[in-house]
Amino acid sequence: MSKLVEYWKKFPSEWRFAITAFIVVRVALSLWSLAIYSLIPVSLQNIDLFGDPVLTVFDLKTSERHVYSRQEDDTVLSFSVPDPSYVMDNQTGSIWSIQSGQAIEGYYKGRALMELTHSPEEIFPYLGMPPAKNILLSLWQRFDANWYLKIAVHGYDGSDGSTVYFPVYPLLIRSLLFLSPPMFAAMLVSNLALLGVLVVLYKLITDLTNETVSRRALIYLLIFPTSFFLTAAYTESLFLLFTIGCLYSASHGRWNWAVVWGAFAALTRLQGVLLVIPLAYMLWREFGSVSLKKLAVRALPLAIMPLATLAFLGFSSLSLINTYQGTLHAKFVFPWDNIRAAVSLLASGSGSIVDALNLIVTLGLIVIMFAIWKKLPFEYTLYSILMVLAPMLRMTTTQPLVSLTRYALVVFPVFIVLGIWGKNPWVNRVILYTSALLQLYLSAQFFLWGWVA
């Protein structure tokens, strides 16, 4: 035992902190997902879907999905789940079978809920991928995760909207399929990437400030309300690893590695191509005294990043815009149009908690930009502005500022500033308590197939 302790102490501090923090977060989220599964084994929602009153029921254990109309004659019913084996309408107390949608007791006995034109696949999209059998995996198989699994297993299809998802993450999943089922492979990639993020970001922040700020900033990142996406089958952790690796390499003059990590980022998400801008600034700052010709020669490798993005868009027949407008019901707008639409939605009383959080986080990011500009090298301001503005150029018909709470995770300079501010005990408490509570709420919604980000 003593030898293990000695061996552990020989690890660099960033690795000891990263491993410890990762294990704590991974275990905590797993236990929380099991707690939600135990408390709410059947997820029920009374929603309005494009004007239709809809009942959705999802069994967390079996992943069975059911969708029914809540309209019965002239009455719109609302339902609850007094027992995992049936649902009950709140108007008459009638008992309805989850499997058949038929009333088996009460006022409506013998009646059946009407079928809908909306299928369960529209509300719980698995895209033909079988749900994972292990509950610790199946609880995470939600929304975009199924797109990445589908692409990894079956490849791209230009007609189904899959080309909006860039290839590095599904390729990494595919490379592990000979060892494990798709969902386990996806989670493995994301979690290993998160461990890498913690190590590299620790080193980057320590170079800029000190180890105390590094640890505080990483804790704030890990308890941010949507940070559970860093361990989910999403690209957040992988994209963050590539972007941090890119900027960290450039800051140490390792330009070849910076371009390599930047190219991977550009093939992980569309926003990755924007890394060329802070890199170009850093290159100009470092070699600004040389002739324009020599500077151009040094900058030439940066072209690999936009070329990587264009190569994928060419492979997908440049169908990205059509996918956004068609499959995702999105349009391109100015950032302020997105903010105005979010304010209008909330002012009308139609907005949700998620809509409010998207707006609050967006405005918070904009405010913190000034602190990033004051406290950190200018390339981090450029990077942050680009990562915030890029998703704000798109607005869906159903939700303005969609997923901004999730996209905020990759704006890592924000967490550096918060780590500096967190020296104040009151600031530290507000960040810790607010973030932790919101993460518990949002992650629970995610496990129950509630749209979060």
Domain ranges of the chain: 43-122, 184-447
In whole angstroms, what separates CA 122 from the centre of its chain? 20
What is the rounded CA–CA span in Å between residue 148 and residue 174?
Answer: 10
3-state secondary structure of 80: strand
Higher confidence at residue 267 or residue 294?
267
Per residue in 171-220, pLDDT (tens digit) is 999 999 999 999 999 999 999 999 999 999 999 999 999 999 999 999 99
**pTM of the predicted protein model:** 0.94
3-state secondary structure of 5: helix
Whole-number average pLDDT of the chain: 92
pLDDT at 326 over 70: no
40-77 CB burial, b ≥16 within 10 A, e <16: eebbbbbeebeeebbbbbbebeebebbbbbbbbeeeeb
Cβ 451 vs Cβ 143: under 8 Å:
yes
Phi and psi torsions of 84, nearest 5°? -60, -15
**Burial of residue 90 (number of CB atoms within 10 Å: 0-12, 13-18, 19+):** exposed
What is the rounded CA–CA span in Å between residue 56 and residue 119?
Answer: 10
DSSP string, 277-306: HHHHHHHHHHHTTS-HHHHHHHHGGGGHHH
Average pLDDT estimate for 380-392: 97
Residue with tokens 């879907």: 49
What is the rounded CA–CA span in Å between residue 154 and residue 182?
Answer: 11
pLDDT for 10 equals 77
Q: Is the dihedral of CA 396, 365, 447, 138 positive or negative?
A: positive
Q: What is the DSSP letter of 232?
A: S
The first and second tokens of residue 75, run together, are 């009455």
CA angle 409, 352, 52 (to 5 degrees): 125
Residue with tokens 């993450």: 169
What does R_g of the chain's alpha carbons equal in angstroms?
A: 24
CA angle 314, 315, 320 (to 5 degrees): 65
pLDDT at 90 over 60: yes
Residue with tokens 């797993």: 30
User: Helical H runs in 126-210?
Assistant: 135-138, 144-154, 168-175, 182-208
User: What percentage of residues in the chain have a pLDDT greater than 90?
Assistant: 79
Average pLDDT estimate for 346-359: 93
Phi and psi torsions of 124, nearest 5°? -120, 75
